[in-house]
Structure 1
Amino acid sequence: MEIPLFSTESLHIAYRPDLGQLTARWLRSVSEAELRDGYTALRRAALHYQCGRWLIDSRRRTNRRLNGPEWVTTQFLPQAQQALGQPLRVCFLVLPDYLASLPTAATAAPPGSPVQFARFVDEGAANAWLGQR
């Protein structure tokens, strides 16, 4: 099976020019190395398309490591935003029980930050948030 440009075996990445966004869907639970490889591929796609709006579907990643989400939001996203040179707006689709288990501070970025992220259980709500300017 052919893997689309920038995708990995565990993360499908597609650019949506009609929406001006990257959509990344985790296909399964992953190891920490696969997590980092997938996010590196997403960063490469964002730089290629000069795209600062991302929808990341994490609902198939059921065995989350506690340090994975923290690394993504505190290290990876700020570094990706700096490399991109524009504001970064990221929404994560997650399972309801995972969202309920997070402290409130971990569900969204502070206002005014060049990196904005939020977590959703509904893809329609996620796309609506992502589409806001």
Structure 2
Amino acid sequence: MLPDQFSTDFLQVAYRPDLGQLTGRWLRSVTEPELHQGYEALRQAARHHRCGHWLIDSRRRTNRSFNGPEWVTTQFLPRVQQELGTPLSVCFLVLPDYLSNLPASAHEAAGSAVQFARFLDEGAANAWLASRQVATT
């Protein structure tokens, strides 16, 4: 999988046309401005590839001292979904200690135009994305 033109030095962005999936892999911890810049790169890639199925690997992004996850799920993803005009399914790969500290309401309600889930295992994340693609076709 070759990096996409939207990659940065801290986020590798790749589009998989065979899977209809956009992948973003954080390469290190980032500052808050870099977090916003990285998600903007993902937004641009999603628009370019017309892709509403994302896998975001945040396991290397261990600095979570600011409120990035809330901004991503409550503000950023709904805006991207509106721009794409199609349902948006996003899975996040996270570290076990991060997943254990999440509230029970971490997943978006069924029927929402933005669906997201968090996983420890990339295989399970890809299976979830594949099931979302079947559900939206």
Structure-2-length-normalised TM-score:
0.92
Question: Who is 2:59 aligned against?
Answer: 59
Q: Which amino acid in the other structure matches residue 16 of structure 2?
A: R
Percent identity over paired residues: 71
Deviation at 1:105, TM superposition (A): 0.7
Secondary structure of the corresponding residue to residue 105 of structure 2 = helix
Deviation at 1:86, TM superposition (A): 0.3
What is the distance in 2 between the residues matched to 1:9 and 1:86? 29
The count of aligned residue pairs is 130
Question: Who is 1:121 aligned against?
Answer: 120
Is 2:11–2:24's contact at 8 Å kept on the other side of the alignment?
yes
Deviation at 1:65, TM superposition (A): 2.8
Deviation at 1:104, TM superposition (A): 1.0
CA RMSD after TM alignment: 0.9
Task: Write out aligned runs for 1:10-25 (5 A).
Answer: 10-25=10-25
Q: Which amino acid in the other structure matches residue 8 of structure 1?
A: T
Question: Who is 2:43 aligned against?
Answer: 43
Is 2:25–2:57's contact at 8 Å kept on the other side of the alignment?
yes
**Change in 2 beyond 3 A, CA 1:4/1:15:** closer
What is the distance in 2 between the residues matched to 1:41 and 1:67? 19
Deviation at 1:66, TM superposition (A): 4.4
Secondary structure of the corresponding residue to residue 104 of structure 1 = coil
Question: Who is 2:109 aligned against?
Answer: 110
Structure-1-length-normalised TM-score:
0.95
Deviation at 1:9, TM superposition (A): 1.2
What is the distance in 1 between the residues matched to 2:118 and 2:72? 13
**Change in 2 beyond 3 A, CA 1:69/1:50:** same
Question: Who is 1:69 aligned against?
Answer: 69
What is the distance in 2 between the residues matched to 1:128 and 1:4? 23
Structure 1 residue runs without a partner (length 5+): none
Provide runs of 4+ in structure 1 moved above 2 Å: none
Q: Which amino acid in the other structure matches residue 127 of structure 1?
A: N
Q: Which amino acid in the other structure matches residue 44 of structure 1?
A: Q
Structure 2 residue runs without a partner (length 5+): none
